[in-house]
Amino acid sequence: MRIEKYKIDDINQQLVDRHQRNFTHIAADITGLDTILEKLGAFNIAIPSWALGTGGTRFGRFSGGGEPRSLEEKISDVGVIHALNRSSNSISLHIPWDIPENPSQIKALAAQLGLHFDAVNSNTFQDQKDQKLSYKFGSLHHVDKATRKQAVDHNIEVIKYGVQLGSRALSVWLADGSNFPGQLNFRKAFQNTLESMEEIYSALPEDWKVWIEYKPYEPNFYSTTIGDWGQSYLIASKLGVKASTLVDLGHHLQGTNIEQIVSLLLMEGKLAGFHFNDSKYGDDDLTVGSINPYQLFLIFNELVEGMDDKGMDHATSIGWMIDASHNVKDPIEDLLQSVQAIKVAYAQALLVDKPALLAAQKNNDVALAQEILQQAYRTDVRPLIAEASYRSGGALDPIATYRKLNVREHLVKERGLKTIATGL
């Protein structure tokens, strides 16, 4: 399904007076308003192909209606999201959940909707049908060389798909680890992983990057071979300039200071980008900003400060992606909420009075430093996001517009009530 622009414009007309009042109110207090709106307009967040169907838990999956049944339909759903918010102009594929049978056709379809392909994700955490060797005891770290090679070859194949689609990065997340003390020799597991990654690294095209994700536990509960940012960073720095560390917000133990990790990775030029989501307990993959929006703001505060310090372009220097999966919400609404939450945090970070914060830090004025951050955090920046979206031809209120246009009802008519989505 495609949303024609005039339909969005019609609904915007109904909302625009109220929006103008709110926007004028906040705009009056903002210095550099146009630059902020331009930055917000340029900021896009990639949508993962696996988030467009209703997710499940290990106990079951309750499918929603009108879910995409093919890669083409997933791309079409990202097209819907992008038409509404003008901030989701790319899609990230997970191979083999989404094998592009005809890459040039897929690429053309995406281009028609103003979309391109973000990082491609490999998958060596599940055994696929007809797979020769099992990943039960790991993939790139496996004790058996032939199994490692199979996993390396898979990653190289994923790069090949990515090249055909115009992607520029391979994202690697490994489930490799152990469940019990004694199961694994940590050093050997690490060395094997490094060697395997070296082979993958040498297959990267000139202008490609490899992003290495870490995660402390699950599915393994005693050790994970790339379990934290230090281990990812170690591999990334041994590999070279094309390798860096990907931060998935849900992949930290409770209480971890993620913003500090982000700040240092950025300082070292080793921050690949993000998998945004939110969590209460672990890798919950909840809607971004639904549990701890202040943490998200603090992360963006470090990002903006760190990127500005290095003269990096906010929109394009690192990878921005959502990695979430839901079992109770309409996935499109959920993704619209996630993108909105990311943009809110970004806008708030842009509002932080940097010179004042620097001065407060210099004077050890702790109370003032907190005031400055919270002044920005407590500003209702939603009219800024709406204005940026409006100026780019998007909806003032993407979710309200999605509902008014009965998009899900149309999708159910088109695709049926019960569909089996691929992937998660």
Q: Which one of Mn ion, ligand RM4, none interacts with residue 387, CB within 5 to 8 A by kind?
A: none
Q: Using CA atoms, how far apart are residues 223 and 229, in angstroms rounded to an integer? A: 14
Q: Using CA atoms, how far apart are residues 230 and 115, in angstroms rounded to an integer? A: 34
3-state secondary structure the chain: CCCCHHHHHHHHHHHHHHHHHHHHHHHCCCCCHHHHHHHHHHCCCEEEHHHCCCCCECCECCCCCCCCCCHHHHHHHHHHHHHHHCCCCEEEEECCCCCCCCHHHHHHHHHHCCCEEEEEECCCCCCCCCCCCCCCCCCCCCCCHHHHHHHHHHHHHHHHHHHHHCCCEEEECCCCEECCCCCCCHHHHHHHHHHHHHHHHHCCCCCCEEEEECCCCCCCCCEECCCCHHHHHHHHHHHCCCEEEEEECCCCCCCCCHHHHHHHHHHCCCEEEEEECECCCCCCCECCCCCCHHHHHHHHHHHHHHHHHCCCCCCCCCEEEECCCCCCCCHHHHHHHHHHHHHHHHHHHHHCCHHHHHHHHHCCCHHHHHHHHHHHHCCCCHHHHHHHHHHCCCCCCHHHHHHHCCHHHHHHHHHCCCCCCCCC
How many residues make contact with ligand RM4 (CB under 6 A)? 9
On whether the CB atoms of residues 295 and 20 are closer than 8 A, the answer is no
Task: Tell me the closest approach of the beta carbon of residue 216 to Mn ion, in angstroms.
Answer: 11
User: Which two structure tokens, joined as six digits, stand for 171?
Assistant: 């994202």
Pairing of strands 90-94, 223-224: unpaired
Q: Which is nearer to Mn ion, 80 or 318 (CB)?
A: 318
Q: Is 278 in the site for ligand RM4 (CB under 6 A)?
A: no
Q: Which one of ligand RM4, Mn ion, none interacts with residue 278, CB within 5 to 8 A by kind?
A: none
On whether the CB atoms of residues 103 and 164 are closer than 8 A, the answer is yes
Q: Is 228 in the site for Mn ion (CB under 5 A)?
A: no
Q: Is 213 in the site for ligand RM4 (CB under 6 A)?
A: yes
Q: Which of 89, 90, 121, 192 binds ligand RM4 (CB under 6 A)?
A: 121
Annotate each residue in 308-337 with x if it binds Mn ion (CB under 5 A) or - if it does not, as one string: ---------------x--------------
Residues 173-192 close enough to bind ligand RM4 by CB under 6 A: 173
How many residues make contact with Mn ion (CB under 5 A)? 4
Q: Is 283 in the site for ligand RM4 (CB under 6 A)?
A: yes
Residues 235-264 close enough to bind ligand RM4 by CB under 6 A: 248
Annotate each residue in 351-390 with x if it binds ligand RM4 (CB under 6 A) or - if it does not, as one string: ----------------------------------------
Q: Which of 283, 302, 334, 387 binds Mn ion (CB under 5 A)?
A: 283
Task: Tell me the closest approach of the beta carbon of residue 420 to Mn ion, in angstroms.
Answer: 22
Stretch that binds Mn ion, among 89-97, 191-199, 273-281, 368-376 (CB under 5 A): 273-281
Which residues lie across from 47 on neighbouring strands? 91
Task: Tell me the closest approach of the beta carbon of residue 275 to Mn ion, in angstroms.
Answer: 4
Q: Which of 323, 330, 333, 397 binds ligand RM4 (CB under 6 A)?
A: 323
Q: Which of 67, 77, 118, 248 binds Mn ion (CB under 5 A)?
A: 248
Q: Is 334 in the site for ligand RM4 (CB under 6 A)?
A: no
Q: Is 275 in the site for ligand RM4 (CB under 6 A)?
A: yes
Q: Which one of ligand RM4, Mn ion, none interacts with residue 121, CB within 5 to 8 A by kind?
A: ligand RM4
Task: Tell me the closest approach of the beta carbon of residue 297 to ligand RM4, in angstroms.
Answer: 22
- At 76, the amino acid letter reads S
Q: Which of 275, 326, 343, 408 binds Mn ion (CB under 5 A)?
A: 275
Q: Which is nearer to ligand RM4, 165 or 272 (CB)?
A: 272
Q: Is 118 in the site for ligand RM4 (CB under 6 A)?
A: no
Q: Which residue is nearest to ligand RM4 (CB)?
A: 173
Chain residues binding Mn ion by CB under 5 A are: 248, 275, 283, 323
Interaction site with ligand RM4 (CB under 6 A): 94, 121, 173, 213, 215, 248, 275, 283, 323
